[in-house]
Structure 1
Amino acid sequence: MALRVTRLLLPAGGFALEAGRAAQKARLHVSAARRLEYGWWAYALGERTTPRLTQYSKIISVDGNLASGKGALAQKLADKLGMLYMPEADNFYLDKMSGEAEPLPLDFNGMCSLEKFYTNPKAADGNSYRLQMWMYAMRLLQYSDAIEHLLSTGQGVILERSPFSDVVFLDAMFKQGYIRKECVQHYDEIKNISICEFLPPHLVVYVDSPAEEVQKKLRQSGKPYLQNVPLEYLKSIEESYKKTFLPEIREKAEVLTYDATEAQDVERVVEDIEYLKFEKGPWLEQDDVSYHHMRMLAEDKHRVATLTHIPRFLPEITIGAHDYDEKYYAYRALPGKKYAPGYNEDAGDKLIWFK
């Protein structure tokens, strides 16, 4: 049975994948317990997206190499423009969005490790490609959260990287011999059937930091697993950005490029954004009907996750039926995972019989 790149183990009565949705609180039963969501009836009764859109109702992706300063720039831009800042998704994005008190073990978060990748990128167990595939799925889910927020509130969102730029890591891994050609083919197939369901960012801000400077900053970070990131790997990421991603995204989105020093001048970046006319890209072709369908997809996290599943055997991301069964019951045995949220006595839920 193929190992899905999103969490396989769903609690009875609800999806554990529904990132960004608060758990239902325990309460006395006074009516049918239903979570109000946007749907066909809301649209039929007159709810529209375009009236709430403003000048800064945009998706902005801040991209760059590791330790390039993109995170600091993204957060400052969000503060200046009144937009929502979403930090870069990591291995535990699902846990953060579903409100876990502590991150669940890696067995329930992709069965992959970022630390292991940097210390042993050619590990024989296929960790490198599992990590890459899992991170693509997390970025796709986060991007759906960004789209949902934009269309629901009108507030723009600033992200660190996006599923559109995720390919730079795949390219670098393959060039360095960390993954096989079959993994690249699998990734391309997954991306082709999933990324087409979403519109690209309105704007990509690229922070251009030389690989040598990036390596120096990584060694000063204090994280042991980042001390020996190969310079060639960092150069491959930089090259993929400049030769593959940026030329392609420029055809359908605005692009602003700054070196590491220029990126620290937030006022200048804000001024440059204000001068952009945003006269290209598929966002210009949208109307309330297409926004409606886009919002319906974005709020259905299980449907978004399923976009990354194809029935193909690949040793790096495939587990047997017995292993799957073992992990499934291990997940269900965790506190609060046996039943739907609010109905688990082992998690301290009260008055269960009155709900």
Structure 2
Amino acid sequence: MALGQARLCSLLGRSWVLCTRPSTLVAPGVVEGHKQLTTQPNYKKPFPYRRKKFSFMRSLIEYTSARMNENSRIILVEGLPCVGKSEFAKKLADNFKLKYIPPFTDDDVFVICGLDKRETDGLMPTERLKCYDMDSFYAGLDPQKKLFYGNTQINYFKQRWEQYLLALRHIMNTGQGVVLENSVYSDMVYALNMADHGYFTKKGLRWYMEHRENSLYLFWKPHLIIHLDAPSSYIEKKMKEKYPKLQNSPVLNEAYLDGWRKKYNEVYLPEMRQHCDTLYYDIREMEDLDLLFMDLEGMDLISARFGESTKFADWHKQKEEQWSMYRLTLESEHYIQHIDDWHGPWECPELAMDGEELTYLEYLFQFIPQYSYDPNYWYDKDGNFIPRELLKEVSPVTLASEDPTCNQGVPPTPKVTS
């Protein structure tokens, strides 16, 4: 920061004094001064980070630490399916005026610019190139295809990684806390349980855990994890009531759900307790939510504690420079893309494709226009692409996934060629 200011001074001359600040500026007392959640947070006017880029020049006058307040917290609501996570998370966010980020769906993974990749399975020459979603997973397909679900789980990890990145960007640019469901940190629970039931090879699981470690070092840990739980028999019954097509699923049974719960209680939660607070609730015995939220208001989710030096450590920054530099890192598209990008390891054939498969895909992409579209761009019903930055200036615009019937026009030159 100091070096950047020195270079800036040589360019601006004496006027540099107006747009610089001491690199040792101590952050306000937000880190230790405002400790408990409140139902009436005092948020400052948010920075429009979706339309404007937070740059080094803006960091000189836009102080990140000044945005932090008692509700600048990341709260994770974790648990198995059908335990009421979504309803609980929404009410929690509404009560404390936090932002709720809903969980992703299979469409977020398999739909690109209005094209459902699952519809192209008939064009794929090998089973490895086909799409395997949760419906086919619970249907219990041929055991020889079980290992291909490892690739799907890695795609789910990527979706959760991007959601947590969005949560951090939101809190840094607005000061508003965020509530998430089943985060990128708990994704390993699913991977470990899948490995126990033959959906991951040992090499594939080892690569997944290495990729997880390399991807998560960028993130600051959450402040609170709320774990909603119930017996496996209860969850199995609820899932089959909600999704009748799972009635005869060979995968959905108490043994599989027990493995899930065991990984939560013996692997995930002990690891996260070193960095944040955790709460456990059996949904069959949950008290009134208003009383529960009153208990949350009394929790200190930021102060350092004796003997727990790693808890909330990521958020104990004393200088504005530290907050701004981290915020700039989260806004660096090149840096984020480098971390988020991954390629299947050659030693794990179930996670990687060979040269012939890659050549076929490059050839196929030339005849499927949706694969040529950059997902960072929007387009209107005439097929005219509009950069996301100009979204507010052009109307009407429609995202492909919202209106798959729109005319997509003449596709641009494919990114990959045969």
TM bucket, shorter chain: 0.7 to 0.9
SS in 2 for 1:61: strand
Query: For the Cα contact (< 8 Å) 2:345–2:351, is it kept in 1?
Result: no
Amino acid of the residue matched to residue 85 of structure 1? Y
When residues 245 and 63 of structure 1 are mapped into structure 2, their CA distance, relative to the original with a 3 A threshold, is same
User: What residue number does 2:316 align with?
Assistant: 285
Tell me if 1:112 matches 2:132: yes
Q: CA deviation at 1:304?
A: 3.2
Provide the residue aligned with 1:39 in structure 2: 55
Q: Which has the higher contact order (CA 8 A, sep 6+)?
A: 1
Gaps of 5+ in 1: 1-19, 23-34
How many angstroms apart in 1 are the aligned matches of 2:286 and 2:360?
Answer: 47
Map of 1:3 onto structure 2: none
Change in Cα spacing, 1:255 to 1:227, as seen in structure 2 (3 Å) is farther
Give the equivalent residue in structure 2 for 1:315.
349
> Which residue of the partner structure matches residue 213 of structure 2?
192
Of residues 259, 268, 281 in structure 1, which corresponds to 2:282?
259
**Which residue is equivalent to 2:68?**
53
Structure 2 counterpart of 1:253, one-letter code: C
Q: For the structure 1 residues 327 and 258, does the alpha-carbon distance in structure 2 shift closer, same or farther, using more than 3 Å as the test?
A: farther
Q: In structure 2, what residue type is equivalent to 1:168?
A: V
**What residue identity is the alignment partner of 1:75?**
K
Label 1:104 to 1:41 Cα distance change in 2 as closer, same or farther (>3 A). Answer: farther
Kindly state the Cα deviation for residue 111 of structure 1 after the two structures are TM-superposed.
3.6
Amino acid at match of 1:119: A
Partner of 1:6: none
1:224 aligns to 2:260 (yes or no):
no
Structure 1 residue 41 displacement after superposition? 1.7
State the Cα distance separating 1:227 from its structure 2 match.
5.3
Whole-angstrom distance in 1 between the partners of 2:174 and 2:246: 40
Q: Deviations over 1:177-216 (max 9, x none)?
A: 2221111111011011111110111100001211111000
SS in 2 for 1:321: helix
**In structure 2, do the counterparts of structure 1 residues 169 and 264 end up closer, same or farther at CA, with 3 Å as the change threshold?**
farther
Aligned partner of 1:209 among 214, 230, 240: 230
Question: Which residue matches 1:138?
Answer: 159
Identical-residue share of aligned pairs (%): 24
Aligned residue in 1 for 2:328: 296
Given that residues 336 and 347 in structure 1 are in contact (C-alpha distance below 8 angstroms), is that contact kept between their aligned partners in structure 2?
A: no
Contact 2:101 2:180 in 1 (8 A): yes
Query: What is residue 10 of structure 1 aligned with on the other side?
Result: none
CA contact (8 A) 1:337 1:344 kept: no
Residue in 1 aligned with 2:4? none
Separation in 2, partners of 1:338, 1:86: 24
Judged with a 3 Å threshold, the aligned counterparts in structure 2 of structure 1 residues 169 and 41 are, in CA distance, closer, same or farther, namely: same
Shift of 1:146: 0.6
With over 3 angstroms needed to count, the CA separation of the structure-2 counterparts of 1:285 and 1:340, relative to structure 1, is closer
Work out whether residues 190 and 307 of structure 1, in 8 Å CA contact, stay in contact via their aligned partners in 2. no
Distance 2:133 2:363 in 1: 20
Pick the structure with greater CA Rg. 2
Q: State how far apart, in whole Å, the 2-side matches of 1:95 and 1:132 are.
A: 13
The TM-score normalised by the length of structure 2 is 0.67
Relative to structure 1, is the Cα distance of residues 180 and 94 closer, same or farther in structure 2, using a 3 angstrom cutoff? closer
CA spacing shift, 1:259–1:124, aligned 2, 3 Å: same
Whether contact under 8 Å (2:79, 2:227) holds in the other structure is yes
Aligned to 1:30: none
State the one-letter code of the partner of 1:297.
T
1:334 maps to: 370
Instruction: Select between 109-118 and 225-234 the one with higher mean Cα deviation.
Output: 109-118
What SS is found at the alignment partner of 2:262? helix
Cα distance, 1:85–1:347 mapped onto 2, change above 3 Å: same
- The number of aligned residues is 315
Aligned twin of 2:383: 347
Using the alignment, how far apart are the partners of 1:115 and 1:89 within structure 2?
15
Contact kept? 1:164, 1:200, Cα under 8 Å: no
Residues 148 and 299, structure 1, Cα contact 8 Å, conserved in 2: yes
TM-score normalised by the chain length of structure 1: 0.78
